[in-house]
Chains A and B, each alone.
Chain A
Amino acid sequence: MFDKTVAELSRALQGREFSSAELTQACLDRIERHRDLNAFITVDRERTLAEAKVADASLARGEATALTGIPIAQKDIFCADGWPTTCGSKMLANFTAPYDATVIARFKAAGAVTLGKTNMDEFAMGSSNETSFFGPVRNPWDPKTVPGGSSGGSAAAVAGRLTPAATGTDTGGSIRQPAALTGITGLKPSYGRVSRYGMIAFASSLDQGGPMTRTAEDAAYLLNVMAGFDERDSTSVDAPVPDYTATLGRDIRGLRIGLPKEYFGEGLSPEVAKAVEAAIAEYKKLGATVVDVSLPNSRLAIPCYYVLAPAEASSNLARYDGVRYGYRAEKYDSLLDLYSRTRAEGFGPEVKRRIMIGTYALSAGYYDAYYLQAQKLRRLISDDFKRALENCDVIMGPTSPTTAFELGAKTDDPVAMYLSDIYTISVNLAGLPGMSIPAGFGAANRPVGLQLIGKYMDEARLLNIAHRYQLVTDWHRRVPKGFE
């Protein structure tokens, strides 16, 4: 049961082969058995099974949607009414959300079951899940290695078959990089496609929620529910939402794949390059053609991002002051002291570093040199994509320069950690949709992800392109040893 996809489970539930309560129980048992992965921060059996029983009642009445009764693991960045919502931080370790994020409300309305809240880098700041206050997550493919981040708990839970599907959020690669490192499918939608309401803010002009699943077909099922206009998110885009499952079967003969030379140069490990090239050869067999494109400013994406994201974070995280909710320092002797101690004790080192970088970049005398210059580079990076996508339908390349690295390998050097997102960050800066799909393995059986970058709001085509590859390959069906 646990190895079935969302699409298969949906049919089985509607055919009454088993109940949502049975399926949910099986997932909860697997979560318990694989607790050493540390993929979840909060599991609440009673609450989850109660949701499953409600779903079973809907199924019995014949009122089911495609997701009714399907357990979904929610990244602990989404506020869910009555659930602890920690964002991986001590600052919110005692915080129980008093309302539902729009994403959560949409899944509830579709009848999906909240399986629990998954572990993540603190405030989504990290690429290895090692900055979590609740401890690192382990990669099911090799527990010595990281699952990537920041949506590392969701990625490990899907890869280890603890849940059929999960949600993630992606500010600079936080869905795609962990999807690549754990051999699953992850989609970061176009900026504005999925509501950010109730999704704890990191960098508001870059953050976007999306599905993390085993297959592109499943990602289409989830996106059908997640996508859509929300007046509570001021940057939500009011555009029609297609049925993303309806176009999966389309032929991709004649598809033009753009290969940016900048994504295949220095820094890319040979094992990843080899797997990505093999995947592109597979696409040629499916009738695609390849064109060379260039993203000349992509080397500037990381410096640009590490001004803009921390600047926005320093502003967003100013709200954590120990007054209205969350952690409050025990000892303080003035209001200023209350703020400074609460924040010193409640935030971890990476979050503090980013708040300070952002504060510095926005401070008097430095704004033009840092923030304004970064915004101008953002324009150049975005224009590169616009030009490249005039000559092709999709851009392909590696998701991450290496396969999963070992725990502790990069924790002493923030800059080395940042380079893990070198191929994903520019997509957030441009606001485009990006996907990672399993495309083979490197040394020691560590998964490699193929990245697909599409035109704005072209998620349906990306999912179609990914699905066609998954029909002729079986990388996405491989199960880590010990999780069969």
Chain B
Amino acid sequence: MSLSRHDVERIAHLARLEVGEQELSAYAESLSRILGLIEQMNAVDTRGVAPMAHPQEAALRLRPDQVAEADQRDKFQAIAPATEAGLYLVPKVIE
């Protein structure tokens, strides 16, 4: 599988990564090389094999729906790039 510059642009957009025009070819080349390695997987017939998501097949635990954490909003927002009145600030999204 060889990726084109256009493929890299599409993937970078999905991943929310800005990739400069001059970087596209380098990424296309290195990602294609990694995909080449990955494609060794295709040689194996895995019909009938159950996919394994987790090493020990453990089911997720449930816990009682109780308050377990104290409110630490001020502490956690102290490390944010921009906040106001307890809210995180981002560029305007609704005109």
Q: Which residues of A approach B to under 8 Å, CB–CB? A: 95-96, 98, 190-192, 205, 231, 234-235, 237, 297, 299-300, 302-304, 306-307, 314, 318, 321-326, 328, 332-341, 343-344, 347, 352-353, 355-357, 359-361, 363, 369-370, 372-380, 382, 413-415, 418, 429-432, 456
Complex CA gap A456/B56 in Å reads 9
Complex CA gap A373/B39 in Å reads 10
Given contacts A192-B55, A314-B15, contact A303 B49 (CB under 8 A): no
Complex CA gap A361/B11 in Å reads 10
Within 8 A of A (CB), among B46-71: 46, 49-56, 58, 60-61, 63
Given contacts A343-B17, A356-B15, contact A191 B56 (CB under 8 A): yes
The 8 closest A-B pairs by CB, nearest first: A431-B55, A375-B51, A328-B81, A344-B18, A376-B46, A340-B18, A379-B52, A376-B49
Complex CA gap A357/B39 in Å reads 13
Q: Which residues of A sit under 8 angstroms from B52, Cβ to Cβ?
A: 375-376, 378-379, 382
Q: Is the CB of B16 within 8 A of A353?
A: no
Q: Is the CB of B15 within 8 A of A335?
A: no
Q: Is the CB of B56 within 8 A of A306?
A: no
Q: Is the CB of B27 within 8 A of A353?
A: yes
Complex CA gap A98/B58 in Å reads 30
Is B22 at the interface (CB under 8 A from chain A)?
A: no
Whose C-beta in chain B lies nearest to the C-beta of A94? B79
Q: Which residues of A sit under 8 angstroms from B46, Cβ to Cβ?
A: 373, 376-377, 380
Q: Which residues of B sit under 8 angstroms from A333, Cβ to Cβ?
A: 91
Complex CA gap A118/B59 in Å reads 34
Whose C-beta in chain A lies nearest to the C-beta of B89? A323
Q: Which residues of A sit under 8 angstroms from B55, Cβ to Cβ?
A: 190-192, 205, 382, 429-432
Q: Is the CB of B93 within 8 A of A335?
A: yes
Q: Is the interface of A mostly helix, strand, loop or mixed?
A: helix
Is B2 at the interface (CB under 8 A from chain A)?
A: no
Q: Which residues of A sit under 8 angstroms from B80, Cβ to Cβ?
A: 323-325
Q: Which residues of A sit under 8 angstroms from B51, Cβ to Cβ?
A: 372, 375-376, 378-379
CB distance from B31 to the nearest CB of A (A): 6
**Chain B interface category by residue count:** 35 or more
CB distance from B43 to the nearest CB of A (A): 9
Q: Which residues of A sit under 8 angstroms from B72, Cβ to Cβ?
A: 98
Q: Which residues of A sit under 8 angstroms from B41, Cβ to Cβ?
A: 300, 303-304, 307, 370, 373-374, 377
Complex CA gap A460/B8 in Å reads 47
CB distance from B74 to the nearest CB of A (A): 10
Of A314, A323, A340, A382, the contact of B88 (CB 8 Å cutoff): A323
Interface CB pairs A-B, < 8 A, 8: A234-B60, A321-B16, A353-B27, A356-B8, A369-B42, A376-B46, A380-B49, A431-B56
Of B11, B17, B76, the contact of A363 (CB 8 Å cutoff): B11
Q: Is the CB of B37 within 8 A of A235?
A: no
Complex CA gap A332/B81 in Å reads 14
Given contacts A338-B91, A414-B33, contact A352 B17 (CB under 8 A): yes
Within 8 A of A (CB), among B17-46: 17-19, 27, 30-31, 33-42, 44, 46
Q: Is the interface of B mostly helix, strand, loop or mixed?
A: loop
CB distance from A190 to the nearest CB of B (A): 8
Complex CA gap A347/B27 in Å reads 14
Not counting A323-B88, A340-B16, A375-B52, a sample of 18 additional A-B residue pairs whose C-beta atoms are within 8 angstroms of each other reads: A98-B78, A98-B79, A234-B60, A237-B56, A303-B41, A328-B81, A335-B90, A340-B13, A344-B18, A353-B27, A353-B34, A356-B31, A357-B35, A363-B11, A376-B49, A378-B51, A415-B36, A456-B56
Is B85 at the interface (CB under 8 A from chain A)?
A: no
Complex CA gap A234/B63 in Å reads 10
Q: Is the CB of A347 within 8 A of B17?
A: yes
Whose C-beta in chain A lies nearest to the C-beta of B16? A339
Of A356, A370, A430, the contact of B27 (CB 8 Å cutoff): A356
Q: Is the CB of A353 within 8 A of B90?
A: no
Q: Is the CB of B30 within 8 A of A303?
A: no
Given contacts A376-B51, A377-B44, contact A360 B11 (CB under 8 A): yes
Q: Which residues of B sit under 8 angstroms from A361, Cβ to Cβ?
A: 38
Q: Is the CB of B37 within 8 A of A344?
A: no
Of A96, A234, A353, A382, the contact of B61 (CB 8 Å cutoff): A234
Given contacts A321-B16, A359-B15, contact A415 B34 (CB under 8 A): yes
Q: Is the CB of A96 within 8 A of B79?
A: yes
Q: Which residues of B sit under 8 angstroms from A373, Cβ to Cβ?
A: 41-42, 44, 46
Q: Is the CB of B17 within 8 A of A323?
A: no
Given contacts A338-B91, A356-B12, A382-B52, contact A370 B18 (CB under 8 A): no
Whose C-beta in chain A lies nearest to the C-beta of B63? A231
Whose C-beta in chain B lies nearest to the C-beta of A234? B60
Whose C-beta in chain B lies nearest to the C-beta of A328? B81
Whose C-beta in chain B lies nearest to the C-beta of A310? B34
